[in-house]
Each structure stands twice: as structure tokens, then as C-alpha cells.
A and B are shown apart, each in its own frame.
Chain A
Amino acid sequence: MGSNSEPSLLDLLAERRLSHDFRWASRTWTGPPYFVRGQMKKPKEIILAVLESKNVQKVIQEVAKDSQKDEEIVKKQALDILSELAHDFHMYAIRWFGLVLSKLGKRLYNSIQVNTEKIEDVKKAYASYPVLLLPTHRSYVDFLLVSYMSFAFELTLPIIAAGMDFKGMVGVGEILRKSGAFYIRRRFGGDALYWALISEYVKKAVMEGGHPLEMFVEGTRSRSGKSLKPKVGLLSIVSELVTSGQIPDVLILPISMSYDRTLEERLYAHELLGKPKPKESTNGLMKALKWLGDQSYGSVFVNFGDLISIRQMIEMSSNPITLERPKVFLKSIEEIALKVVLDQQANLVVPLFAGISLIILSKISTRRIRIPLQELIESMEYLQRIITSRNSTFGFSLLGESLGANIRYILSVHSSLVSLSENDDLVLINFETGDTVQYMVFQHYANQILHHILPFSIILSLFTTHLHESEDLDEPSCPLLDKLENSLEEIVISPQIEEDYVFLKEIFQEDFLYNVGTELQELHWVVNTLKSMKLPDFT
């Protein structure tokens, strides 16, 4: 298959460029053994079993009684909801997507790089317990990519919890349904019947459907590029299977997917600036595809996280979890969800343009719109060292090439935002003061590296504040950098700074996920990283 320098990295498209797509999409396909309880149920059988389940029957009776409707009417209503909801998985739809996405993917992307290190673990997990696939959500492409990868690696295809938006799209809604999508309303907390149906449906599908369940724990695509605070609705339904003893364990596979260039970069900028999200339509999709086809989008990077055992997470939780204590139960599901998103974030390959945007934004803030290429590359090297010390990496679309070469390539991918001067030594930023859309697009990328930079930013600003406060007025001339080198450790690793650090992280917790309990570790990490590298001159 693909050839590259990292042995565990595999480019899905490389192989597609070598052989015939149709033959590939129609090949004999055997998934590995996947967990199923008892006899595997077909989609239609799942719907029937949901309707016949005691839980749903009970709620139907209650709703009928409360609303003084005939039970049959409520039952009909339930069947309608289920038909609207349910997936109708067919392998032919997957094959069709396999073909279309291969064609499209090769036009849009340079490569789809998948870290295959964990594939064997995933196969083993599939044979052991039900598995939840929880990918990051930065683009509609995420949705398709997980299934595409599964098809390529011969992993059992997932069923996917999708938002209602797609359902309305003529043709597309149905073919997605046939590819395993099922549709859930965004809000359904108050509707007893809907809740009963969705929870029974998800449980039956997980236990007896024979497919892993994919869902987006962030709830929606992250427009900002940052990891979002997780939603726990579906996760709590699945966790109930474990806490109620229906299954010894359910395993979670966090998946991190990042893009050199996000398809929806401009839509997101507009949405964040308050322009309403355009309604999804097939017509719109066709137009978009036509336009997209002329663009280059660099590469996609996929990393699988370590499998998380829901049982172990619940056992580790200090409170005994039972369904009789719903608040405690919910709290521990929130903990699991947060761990998943933190894992996803930690495993994300950082797109090069995230670092470039961070640097560009700092220049824009000083009203500079030209940067010598060499300077950009040096700053990127510095950022690279920071993220490497966090066990993260930049994504290199041109595998085996230098950082510089990759930066040049990515600049060309983002030609609507940046360009190179004629003699190639200056990076020109397409930005005019007040161009908020352009600014938002840069921010969308810069945000994708911020979680690595954040501890630095907070700690260094605490450090300088501390210095100013304790500044001996008699010698104000001592430069900051000297101070850093002289007294960094003793000042930073102090209870005062740690307290302030916690305080600030709490303030920012709606913007940046707060991983409680890692504060001291982060302080040490910042100190060690600063000590190990020569600071660049940012002035």
C-alpha cells in the first residue's frame, strides 16, 4: 500500500491512485468478527423489538393516558418516530460511497494519512464488546471519512448518529440512511416518548445490531476549531447498558481527524459572525461540490486513541454508580465524555496552517501583512518544538520533505488567504483592516494549536505579572529574558502561581477544556520546555 517514511502511517489515497476504484469498491468484503448479543437483528427487526420492548410499551401507555389519546394512536406516533429515526444499513450504499469518495477524495486531497498502529487493537475490541466510535467533529467530511476508513481497513462499518439536517436532503438523506446514518433531534429531553424510543433504539442497535456506533460527542461541528464541551445524552444511554448489567463493558474509541484545509472554512466564519447557517439542500451540495472540485485541500490526518473501557471508568469513579442515583450517574458520564474529548484533542495531528495562522495573527495585530518566509519557517520550528514536547506533531502533507517545503505547499493550498511574493521570500497576507471574515478564517486555524500554547500563555503572563509586582523599583532595567532564565523555576513552581493558574483555567473553561488535576504537571512542563530551548526574538 502507501509508501512513506513513518512506518505506521498509511495514505488511503495512495493505493486508490494505483488501482481501479470500481473494482475496489465492489471487492469481496469481509469485516472482522464484531460483537453481537444473541442473534443479529436486521434494521427492521430492531424497530419491531424497540416497539415491543417493555420500556416503550410502558411509556406509550403513560403518554396515551396523560394525553387522553387512544393507545393505538400513540403507538402509530411511535412507529412514525422510529421510521424517521432508524438506519437501514445496506452494503451497496457503502460501496457506492466507496466509489464516489475515492474519486472525490483524489481530486480534493493530496493524501488521507491514517495512523494504523491501533488497527489491530480495534479489531480485537470489535470482537470483544460493543464499541463506540467517537471522532472529533470539524467538518461534514468526518461523517463520511470514518465509514470510508472502515471500508478500506475491512473494519465492520459503523452506524452513525446524525443530526436531522441531512434527513431533509432529497436523495442524500436516504442514501446516508442506507449507509448507516440514523437521525436524532437536537433536543429531546422533555419528550418522554421520544426519549424512550431513542434510548431503546440505541441500546438495541448497540447490543444486537452488529455494528459499532459512531457519534459526535461534541454534539456539533466545531466552527471555531477548538474542542467543544461534550454532550452526554447518547453516551449516557449507552453507559446505562453497562451500569444496568446488560453487558460487562462497552469500549470507546476516540478518533482524531484534522484537515490542512477545512471545507467549510468560509461558512464557519460567516456563521460565527452571525450569518444564519444555510439550510442543507441537495442542490446546494451539488453546487458546492462543483466549486470544491477546483480547489486543493491538502491532506487529512487521522489518529486513533487508546480504547477506553466504560466499565473501568465507572469502577474508578469514587462513587458507586447505580441508576437509582441519576445525578451521580450523570456526573460520571460527564467525566467519561470529558476524558474522550481531551484524548481526542491530545491525539490530533496539528495542521501546519494552524501554526502559520497563529503567527500571521500576531503579525496582523502589529499591522504587518508581509512576513519574510525564512522568519515564518523559524517561528514554525519553534512551535514545532513546543508541540513535540507535548507528544504531538505537525501534519506533513508532503511526507519525507522538510518543514520548509511543507510550509510552502500549505501556503499554496491556502492561496485565498496567503500568497508568496514573486521571488518567493515574502509571505503576503490577503488581509485588509476590518476584514472580519478573513480574520475569522485565520482564527479557525490558529485555534487548532491553541490547546498546546495555552499553558504557556497563562503561565508566562502570570510569571510576568509576578515579576512586575515584586519588581524592585530600583532596578527596572533587568530584561525579562534574563529574569526568565535566572528565576523561572523557583517562581513558577510555587503554590501562588499554581493557584492563579487554576483560577484562570476555571475562568476559561468554557473556551478551553479544563483537565482538572494536571496543573502541576503543566507547570513543570512549561518550565522544562522553556529551559530546553533558546527563546526566539519575538520583538
Chain B
Amino acid sequence: MSIENGKESSQSVDCQIPKIRQEVLKWNGWGYKDSGFIFRDGVMEFTGSRYSIGNLILPYFSKWIIDTLGCDFTTKNESVIEPRPEHYPFSLVSADFVLDIERTGITHSVRGDDRLFRSHGHTLHEIFDLRHGKFSRIPDIVVWPEKHEDVLTLVNLACKHKVVIIPFGGGTSVSGGLCCPENETRPIVSVDTSQMKRILWIDEANLLCCAESGIIGQDIEAQLKAKGFTTGHEPDSYEFSSLGGWVATRASGMKKNTYGNIEDLLVHVKCVTPTGVLEKFCQVPRMSAGPDIHQIILGSEGTLGIVTEVVLKIRPLPPCKKYGSIVFPNFAAGVSTLREIAKHRCQPSSIRLMDNEQFKFGHSLRAAPGFLGSIKDSAKSLYLTKFKGFDLNQICVATLLFEGQQDQVEAQEQKIYGISNQYGGIPAGSTSGERGYILTFVIAYIRDIGLDYNIVAESFETSVPWSNTYNLCENVKLRVSNECKDRGLKHFFITCRVTQSYDVGSCVYFYFAFNYHGISNPVQVFEEIETIARDEIISNRGSISHHHGIGKIRRQWLPKTISTNGINTVLQIKQALDPQNIFANGNIIGVTEQQESLRIKSKL
């Protein structure tokens, strides 16, 4: 370790996810191979010891699934087995290109399983197809650059050989962003950034750190923690998602109230495009220097280039970390409280409001209690229903996370419980709060067990002004429920939570699932309803996305979101940075529109 210019440079790398991802991660589902829900001996349990609910029997959860989703555990819908090498599509990449790659010394692979793993993200459509052994277009080769210069070399080679590059970070996309455009005839190179995983330096004087874009959330946090720091950026996918991916998709972290979203944390970014590196030559707190080119890279979703190095703000680890929760008589009271808290700008690091359905669902995800536990549970609900007059089918819960100095945290707690009291909210202790946050990471595993038993599920999110938050939540749930009934779906589940509070509005996150027993095209039906839900969101003044991004599945709403002039501006930027359309993943606007625009331009 050496010190230069007051910056501490670091080479030590400790990475949780190996280069050959499928060694520890599922090839056809979410997360670690050793972790997940299974149904065994009549009850649900969670395997592995990585998570706090690991190796626990979950009797209430099995019951919840049966009651809510009409699940039939007697017939299992197994995924196909991992394809054999000869079953993968033939790689289109030319020998010349491979030879050129080999000359650079950058590692690569044309193995089917490596290519398949990088051909998808985690939308329902993608996972459903994988489980049914359906894959149409997958990358033709995977390459693993190890530093910024490698990426420069690769992009140059791509231009020379006229191949397509699709950048790949953590692979947690839920927007269809990683799908290869089916009609792409050029060879597709998946550039996996996972080996660019070093923290290059930490600058304690200015509280900055510079890291390579492939580093994943849990690694950067572990390494910073060892030095007493944190970025505070904690998206729900942070075990797997990468720094470059966060920048490219405008990620949002759970604790943004204290630390900011990725655009607030970002101080500098290097992005390699076909026409050169896009970067600034300073790392200042702000500047007035025309339009901010960082804003072009943020949210570019791999359509312009590859993010290679990022400078982020860091903070000293907070001395005090405390969870909390508040029970509200109904969802409207909860939303009013969140709005009031935002008005006072006294949001804790995180505050999330779950609706009644999600509260019940979360409540079911617990182990069988001991004798005392059940007494405590019934005493609690007795207090709420009899003494406070709450209706268990109306109540909802906010979970809180406080971080900071001891006295700050205490003052904040007092203020927040005071405000919520005005709306009938009652503090409900730290245990349920903590549980809520821990569950965040296991919820993503539920879909896989659902698919085992005829249940399709997905989440979607939006941002919305405060004045429309409550109505949007209720209307989307109502619309989705009615659309399900109209399609004869008997068992469905739609729930939401308000996950972020801003000055002008909130972020709302929905989970939607249904039992597709008797339906031949569940994914199509799901997407139909999801589209209606998005239309409903937009007519309730919600946005196309808060942090999931556009990818391919939300492109249709972009013109209504950013105006035709806005679309043209984005296309012109694309034309300036990537005239040959090397970064042709088709995200945000899509190839046809791009080509159409270019065609019109060439006519002129």
C-alpha cells in the first residue's frame, strides 16, 4: 500500500462473486445457489446460512401462500436442467476477432454457459424463458477486461471488427436491459466488468474514493468498512449489482436520505465511448460549466459506452445505527405522516411504508414462535385492536432506519414519533423494523419458489408527487385487481410500499403475483396487466421509473415522459458518441427509432 498525494491507494481485492459466476450463482434464478425457499415436508423453509432467516422453518409463510395465491404444493413445475454445451446457439464471432482479443491478453470465453449467463437480467419474462429452456439470442463471446486501458482496447477492436458490445455489470437488470436484440446480425460481445474490481484510492481529506466500475456493492462496502468508511449506497440488489451498473441505470439506495442517490454521490466518472473517453478533468464539489456531461452517462444504460472508473463520496461509519417501526390505523394515515416528515425534511436514513397486504405478508415470513412469542404476538394485536381500535385489515407499518451521532438519532426519533402521533401512528419497536430491512434481501428469492408452483411474480416501481401518492397506490392496486378478475384469475396478490420520501414526492414499489393455473400464456397475461398498471401509474401522474430504468420494457412511455424534442436530443448524443451503434443493446429508445432518425437525417 502506498501513499501518493495524500491519497491512499489500495490493491487488495476480496471478491464475493467469482469470475465464473455460475459456480456460486443460480443459472436460472435469483442469487446464491445455496440460498432459496424450498417446500419440504409440508412447510416452507429457507436454505443456507447466508441470511438471517436461513435454515428456518416458515409455517406461516406456507399458509400465506396457500391462502393468498391458492398454491398447490402437490404439483411442482421444475425448471429444465442447465443446457448441455451442444445446445447453445453457435457463436457468430470471427476467428480474426478472437485472434485480436488473444493478442491483447484479455481473458475471454465462447462457452455456452458463460454466454447464456450474460444474456439476461431478472425480469419475469427472462427467468421464465430460462426455466423453460428458451433462449433466442445470446452474446457470442464474453470478455473480462481488468482495467480502464483494457476497455479502451476492446472498444477500439469492436469498432475495427464492427461487432456489438453489451456491457455487463452485476446482471441484476429488471428492465430487459441485458437482452440481446433478436434481429442483431453482428456478433455480440458481452463485456463483463467484474474483474475491474479494485478500489483505486481513498482520499480521506476530501472523503472520496475511486473504484473500478465492476466492483459490487457488498465488496466496496466491506473494503471501505475495514477503513472506517461507507458510501452509504445500498440498493436492494447491492449484494450483486456493480458500481458501473448503478451509474448506468441511475440507481437509488435505501439510505439515500442520509447519503444521496447515485447522482448525488458521484463526483467523477470515466466512460469509454467509441469516439473516445467521456470525462471531466476535475473533482470539484460543483461547477458551472455548461450542461453536466456526467448527466449524460448517468442513466445511459449501456447505450453510449462503458463506465470504467468512478469517484464517489464516502462518509465515516455512523457511530449509532437504530431501527424502528410505526403502526398506523390505515394506509392514508401512513402516507400523510410520510408527507409531513418530508415537509420537515427530517427523514431518517430510510423510512418505508408498507400497505396492509405487505404487512401481513411480511408478518408471515417468520419462524414458528415459542410459547412466549405467541403470547407476545397476541398481546400486541389485542392492544392494537381492542385498546386502540385498529382494524387488522387496515393497519399498515412504517419501518425506520436511523444512522448518525447518538444525539442526532435520538432527536430524530423524537421528532418522527411526534409527527406520526398526530396521524394516529404508534411506535412499534425496533425488532419489526429490523426484520423489515433484513427481509429486503430475501424477497427477491421468492419468485423462484413461486415459479416452481405456477405462480408468476414481478415488482415494478415509480416516483410520484406527494399529492398523488395515496391515490396512485390505491388506484394501481384496484386497477390491477380488477384486470385480474376480468381475466378470470382467481388468486392474485398486489401490494405496494412507499420506499422513498423526497421534497416533492415519493417512490412507490409494487409487487404483483398471480397463480396461473389453467392459463397457457402467463407471461403474456402478466405483461398485459403490467402495461395497464404502468398506464394507470402515468395517468396518476407517476413516472416511467424511479430507479429500475427504461431498458427495453418501458421504452414505449419515454416520448410521453421526455417529449419528442427530448428523444431527438438523446438520439443526437448517441449519434455523436457512438455513430456506428457499437453499443447496440437497444435500451432507452430502441434500434428502430434510432435507425429511423438516422435515415431521416441522411435524407436531409
Contact = CB atoms under 8 A, between A and B. Distances in A.
Contact of A245 (B330, B391, B468): B468
B394 A39 contact: yes
B34 to A, nearest CB: 43
Contacts of B485: 124, 127-128
A162 B541 CA distance: 35
Interface in A43-71: none
Nearest to A245: B540
23 contacts: A37-B474, A38-B330, A38-B331, A39-B332, A39-B391, A39-B394, A124-B485, A128-B481, A128-B482, A129-B478, A129-B482, A245-B471, A245-B472, A245-B541, A246-B471, A246-B475, A247-B471, A247-B475, A247-B478, A248-B475, A248-B478, A248-B536, A248-B539
Given A37-B474, A39-B391, A124-B485, A248 B330 contact: no
B543 to A, nearest CB: 14
In order of increasing CB-CB distance, the 9 nearest A-B pairs are A128-B482, A248-B479, A245-B540, A248-B475, A39-B330, A38-B332, A39-B394, A246-B471, A38-B330
A247 B468 CA distance: 11
Contacts of B474: 37-38
Interface centre among B329, B391, B475 (most CB of A within 10 A): B475
Nearest to A311: B539
A238 to B, nearest CB: 16
A459 B332 CA distance: 59
Interface string B451-487: 0000000000000000010011011001101100100
Interface string B381-395: 000000000010010
Interface string A114-126: 0000000000100
A36 B28 CA distance: 41
A279 B391 CA distance: 47
Interface string A127-155: 11100000000000000000000000000
A124 B484 CA distance: 12
Interface of B: 329-332, 391, 394, 468, 471-472, 474-475, 478-479, 481-482, 485, 536, 539-541
Contacts of A248: 475, 478-479, 482, 536, 539
Contacts of B536: 248
A38 B336 CA distance: 13
Nearest to B541: A245
Given A39-B329, A127-B485, A128-B478, 11 more contacts: A37-B474, A38-B394, A39-B391, A128-B481, A128-B482, A129-B482, A245-B541, A247-B471, A247-B478, A248-B475, A248-B478
A124 B483 CA distance: 12
A166 B220 CA distance: 75
Nearest to A243: B539
Contacts of B331: 38
Nearest to A127: B485
Contacts of A249: 479
Contacts of B332: 38-39
Contacts of A39: 329-330, 332, 391, 394
Nearest to B532: A248
**Residue among B331, B332, B394, B478 with the highest chain A CB neighbour number at 10 A:** B478
A275 B485 CA distance: 54
Given A39-B330, A39-B391, A39-B394, A245 B475 contact: yes
Contacts of A38: 330-332, 394, 474
B467 to A, nearest CB: 10
B422 to A, nearest CB: 14
A246 B473 CA distance: 10
A215 B468 CA distance: 29
B542 to A, nearest CB: 10
Given A39-B330, A39-B394, A245 B539 contact: yes
A128 B479 CA distance: 8
A121 to B, nearest CB: 12
Interface string A6-48: 0000000000000000000000000000000111000000000
Contacts of B475: 245-248
Contacts of A247: 471, 475, 478
A248 B479 CA distance: 7
A19 B430 CA distance: 60
A247 B472 CA distance: 9
B322 to A, nearest CB: 31
Nearest to A246: B471
A248 B482 CA distance: 10
B93 to A, nearest CB: 49
A297 B474 CA distance: 48
A168 B472 CA distance: 42
Residue among A37, A124, A127, A245 with max Cβ neighbours from chain B (10 Å): A245
B361 to A, nearest CB: 19
Contacts of A245: 468, 471-472, 475, 539-541
Nearest to A208: B332
B423 to A, nearest CB: 13
A128 B468 CA distance: 21
A53 to B, nearest CB: 13
A107 B55 CA distance: 73
Contacts of A124: 485
A538 B479 CA distance: 57
Nearest to B329: A39
Nearest to B478: A248
Nearest to B332: A38
Interface string A246-258: 1111000000000
Nearest to B538: A245
B396 to A, nearest CB: 11
